[in-house]
């Protein structure tokens, strides 16, 4: 995502090999162009979106369609021009916040629940400096909420309270990518590189692209899990990729990723890797997996017809006495 053409198309071509139109004028990209990054045995889809302008949240320049794509992504790469001022970054952040996107923020620790009766119950676990009980009542009345339970677990602001009441905000990770560092001084490069959530690159000279990929991997928090068939070597070619933001990283999530009906057939799993205390470790469905773990699934044995294992679990005799066959008399 960017304010104008500052090297997004060139960056997409270098990282994925997909051709994207690039020129010396602004707003070269007119539609969404996808590409695949092959990194750490995984495939990461990178989308080159058209540049947005000020007022995109109101629909200018088809900005709503562009921003709607970012809501379905795991991380936002905001490509900026290192030779320009910080105004573009502020405009982009303001436009994304106007449509409910919160960059590099966590959800407020506020418990909110609507009720049918009982009025408004206001509580807090610590002193509040930005919001008091009267102001909270006024905000809830503006939303025509007269029966609710609200609990502050942090010193939140009025904007945080409104975000919780609205309930449609999305909190996403964002990496600010400063391109064209080859046209500025080393002092400016050092200043930009030390800013939080920032990476400096140069698409023209192909500088620091490996650091950008590593930063993307760390921010996304992907977990690679390798499978091991029983009696065979692990398959290290095609891992199952899990994420805490999408589904989770437990053994149950791993089984659901393979097939939805696999969970009910699992007896236990054997785990090798950083999450195991010893090799192999017998684990259940709630065990949390870590990156590069090896998992072997042991399924429940199907019951044989007429018995269980080598020994029968029930008798073949008739259920009623009247159905029993009369034994032959003894020969004397």
Taking Cα atoms as reference points, which of 108, 107, 102, 106 lies closest to residue 152? 108
pLDDT tier, 90 (very low <50, low <70, confident <90, very high otherwise) = confident
Q: Which CATH class is domain 8-105+169-220?
A: alpha beta
Residue 153 has pLDDT above 90, yes or no: yes
Which DSSP letter does residue 72 get?
T
pTM of structure = 0.78
Tell me the residue length of the chain: 332
pLDDT at residue number 25: 47
CB burial string 305-316: b at 16+ within 10 A, e below: eeeeeeeeeeee
Query: Residue 144 is encoded by which pair of tokens?
Result: 């025509």
Per-residue pLDDT tens over the stretch 217-230 = 999 999 999 999 98
Strand partners, 101: 170
Strand partners, 177: 79, 199
**Residue 113 CB: number of other CB atoms within 10 A?**
10
Q: Quote the CA–CA distance of 225 and 241 in Å, as a whole number.
A: 6
Express the helix, strand and coil content of the chain in percent, nearest 5 each: 30, 30, 45
> How are beta strands 110-114 and 148-152 bridged, if at all?
antiparallel
Q: Quote the CA–CA distance of 97 and 71 in Å, as a whole number.
A: 12
Reported in sequence order, the residue ranges of 215-308 that DSSP labels E, i.e. its strands, are 222-227, 235-243, 266-272, 281-283, 293-299
Domain locations along the chain:
8-105+169-220, 110-166, 222-299
Terminal Cα distance for the chain, rounded: 101
Per-residue pLDDT tens over the stretch 270-279 = 999 999 999 8
Same fold, 8-105+169-220 and 222-299: no
Domain 222-299 homologous superfamily, CATH: Beta-grasp domain (3.10.20.30)
Q: Quote the CA–CA distance of 26 and 6 in Å, as a whole number.
A: 8
Per-residue pLDDT tens over the stretch 158-214 = 999 999 999 889 999 999 999 989 889 999 999 999 999 999 999 888 889 999 999
Average pLDDT, the chain: 85
Which DSSP letter does residue 207 get?
B
Q: What is the sign, positive or negative, of the torsion defined by CA atoms of 108, 113, 118, 119? A: positive
pLDDT at residue number 33: 83
Strand partners, 298: 268
Per-residue pLDDT tens over the stretch 24-59 = 545 556 677 888 999 998 999 988 887 776 776 676
């Amino acid at each position: 995502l960017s304010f104008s053409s500052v090297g997004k198309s060139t960056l997409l071509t270098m990282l994925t090999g997909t051709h994207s139109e690039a020129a010396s004028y602004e707003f070269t990209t007119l539609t969404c162009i996808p590409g695949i990054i092959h990194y750490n045995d995984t495939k990461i889809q990178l989308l080159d979106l058209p540049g947005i302008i000020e007022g995109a949240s109101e629909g200018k320049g088809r900005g709503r369609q562009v921003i709607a794509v970012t809501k379905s992504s795991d991380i936002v790469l905001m490509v900026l021009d290192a030779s320009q001022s910080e105004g573009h970054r502020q405009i982009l952040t303001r436009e994304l916040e106007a449509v409910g996107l919160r960059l590099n923020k966590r959800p407020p620790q506020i418990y909110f629940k609507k009720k049918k009766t009982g009025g408004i119950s206001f509580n807090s676990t610590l002193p509040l400096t930005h919001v008091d009980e009267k102001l909270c009542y006024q905000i809830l009345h503006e939303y025509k909420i007269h029966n609710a339970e609200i609990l502050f677990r942090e010193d939140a602001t009025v904007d945080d309270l409104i975000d919780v009441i609205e309930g449609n905000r999305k909190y996403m990770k964002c990496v600010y990518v400063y391109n064209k560092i080859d046209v500025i001084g080393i002092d400016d490069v050092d200043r930009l590189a030390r800013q939080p959530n920032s990476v400096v690159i140069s698409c023209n000279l192909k500088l620091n692209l490996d650091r950008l990929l590593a930063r993307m991997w760390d921010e996304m928090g992907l977990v690679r899990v390798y499978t091991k068939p029983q009696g065979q070597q692990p398959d290290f070619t095609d891992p199952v990729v899990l994420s805490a933001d999408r589904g989770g990283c437990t053994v149950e999530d791993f089984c659901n990723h393979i097939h939805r009906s696999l969970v009910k057939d699992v007896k236990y799993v054997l785990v090798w890797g950083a999450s195991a205390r010893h090799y192999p470790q017998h684990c259940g469905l709630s065990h949390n997996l870590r990156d590069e773990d090896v998992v072997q699934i042991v399924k429940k044995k199907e019951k044989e017809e007429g018995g269980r294992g080598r020994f029968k679990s029930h008798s073949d005799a008739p259920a009623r006495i009247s159905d029993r066959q009369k034994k032959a008399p003894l020969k004397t």
